[in-house]
Amino acid sequence: MQYLLRQEGTPMHDEFDLIIGVTALANEMILVTDNVKDFRHLKNLKLENWTQKK
């Protein structure tokens, strides 16, 4: 996944975030985080920010 992101010019700089995001993708889970911007490059990853007011 890191290779593909680099090819697109949008690498993730934190390997732990990459592992968390790919795990959520592989298990078809929603990732709940206040750090949405670091995961925006992972296509088809479902994100929710529970700290953001609607």
- As a whole number of angstroms, the distance between CA 23 and CA 3 comes to 16
Q: Determine, yes or no, domain membership for 54.
A: no
pTM of the full structure: 0.74
Model pLDDT, residue 54: 66
Q: Determine, yes or no, domain membership for 53.
A: no
- Core vs surface per residue 4-37: b (16+ CB within 10 A) or e: eeeeeeeebeeeebbebbeebbeeeeebebeeee
**For 1-54, what is each residue's pLDDT tens digit?**
766 767 777 666 678 988 999 999 999 999 999 989 889 888 899 999 999 876
Residue numbers of the domain that contains 29: 2-48
Q: Determine, yes or no, domain membership for 33.
A: yes
Domain tally, the chain:
1
Model pLDDT, residue 41: 84
